[in-house]
Chains A and B, each alone.
Chain A
Amino acid sequence: MIADAVGRLYREGSGRILATLIRLLGDFDLAEEVVQEAYAAALEQWPDEGLPCNPRAWLVQAARHKAIDRLRRRTRFAEKIEELAAMQALEEPAGEREDPALRDDQLRLIFTCCHPALAPEAQVALTLRTLCGLSTEEIARAFLVPTTTMAQRLVRAKHKIREAGIPYRVPPPELLSERMDAVMTVVYLVFTEGYAATIGETLIRRELCAEAIRLARLLDALLPDRAEPPALLALLLLHDSRRAARTTPDGDLVLLEDQDRTRWDHAQIAEGLSLVERALRRSPPGPYALQAAIAAVHARAPRAADTDWRQITALYALLLQRFPSPVVALNHAVAVAMSEGPAAGLRLLDSLAARGELSSYHLLPAARADLLRRLGRDEEAAAAYREAIKLTTNAAERRFLERRLAETDDAAHHSGAKRRP
């Protein structure tokens, strides 16, 4: 019972406690060690002494004392003035009334972990390690790299924070917008890492999505005046709401149009929809707000046939105009195919392919194949499916494309006899 409570507190609260200790100590490694020790002490003492009335304050206090002990031992050997100053800070009383400060500590930690001077993969790893309390092994498994590689990545990042003087603070107003982008990107990367891949360990991937949603929620609570967090949170909630319907029990992909929409998480959709409305009231809407608005149109359609493709096309056109990227152009072309017919979509895809920007992206030939198939050009469709299969690295997607290819090949053999509408 107590062990469960400690485990839950660790998952939910270790990031907050760690954030405070990092501020007090100015040292990621020392902070991590004493927070671990504080939780270990809790596991030892709470079963006898009972749950303290404020477990979090107890843990912060215990970690402080561990830190003071360690620094005393250290300073006996080397008299370091900064450490004495840190100790003074540690002697100040803790308590629940510190809450606003605790919140600021978390915010500082987010901005430090997502500092653009760190490599993107290091930003993601550090965020999962410190803010989400995932272990190095768990993060390594999620990103399919050896634990030693992940451990080195974390050590290097913490070393750079210390030696290069990456500040532990919330950026000043003139830097905030730029830094918000970096933070949003990290949260989004954590989510897509958990969402896109349907192979590997399902549990850890689900956890990544849950952590991304938790981080987006936290950012929304910590920075209530910013437009980006509710938009990102809405986008993540709406995508995640389809989780149960996205794959078959065997892990095969189910296309949006074929999903059993009764299996969508409707409570999550309701929350997502109200957040989208809040995000869209800000003008001009940012990239996450527009993507969330698109996800909201899908979420509002009770059946695939009810989807308002005109609205989706208009939203993609706006997204493309304001935040152009080849992937957005691809999605826009697919939406045009749905609202104006496959031939119109195919024209856009062909001009995109001619620009050569997405030459290694499997979804471009996959989308072309689908439109060619619908136009009854089965042989060209089969060739495009083959190209997509060659480019995909995801097993579930490969199986899906191979199924489609088999159907198309079949149709190509019988072509002339019957054309699909």
Chain B
Amino acid sequence: MEYMLLIYGSEKERASMSEAQRGEIFGEYRAFTDAIVKSGHFKAGAPLQASSTATTVRVKGGKTVTTDGPFAETREQLGGYYLVEAKDLDEATAIAARIPGARFGSVEVRPVLAMALPR
């Protein structure tokens, strides 16, 4: 099964980290990513720019409405994701628990709805 691992954390807390701390976490992310690439679980993944760069789009009555910022203001913001292959939820949550961000914020584990792709 495929699972989306959505990494949430406080951007405010991240901003208050020292350069050395951020470097350390970056190193942890690289080691983690290498490990799940090697184990065959990795399908995709990337960090995201801060939510201050987000734009929300809605189409209402045929008209596109574009607004600044994420859909909702929350304490934790979506900061990155991994798409992984895992045999069941236990394996997916075990992978999620190894994401460095799980220690500072939270990781939402969502099964991907399998759909046949148009040929």
Q: Which residues of A contact B (CB under 8 A)?
A: 115, 117, 163-167, 171, 175
Contact = CB atoms under 8 A, between A and B. Distances in A.
Interface in B1-18: 1, 3
Contacts of B3: 165
Contacts of B87: 165, 167
Interface of B: 1, 3, 86-90, 92-93, 109, 111, 113
Main DSSP-derived SS at the B contact region: mixed
Contacts of B111: 163-165
A164 B89 contact: yes
Contacts of A115: 89
Q: Which 3 A-B pairs have the closest CB atoms?
A: A167-B88, A165-B88, A165-B89
Most A CB contacts (10 A, CB to CB) among B86, B89, B92, B113 go to B89
Nearest to B3: A165
Contacts, number: 25
A223 B41 CA distance: 33
B93 A117 contact: yes
Contacts of B113: 163
A171 B93 CA distance: 13
B1 A165 contact: yes
A311 B58 CA distance: 68
Nearest to A175: B90
A181 to B, nearest CB: 16
Given A117-B89, A165-B1, A165-B87, 8 more contacts: A115-B89, A163-B111, A164-B89, A165-B86, A165-B88, A166-B90, A167-B87, A167-B90
Contacts of A165: 1, 3, 86-89, 92, 111
A167 B86 CA distance: 11
15 contacts: A117-B89, A163-B111, A163-B113, A164-B89, A164-B111, A165-B1, A165-B3, A165-B86, A165-B88, A165-B89, A165-B111, A166-B88, A166-B89, A167-B87, A175-B90
A320 B44 CA distance: 47
B91 to A, nearest CB: 8
B90 A171 contact: yes
A249 to B, nearest CB: 49
Nearest to B1: A165
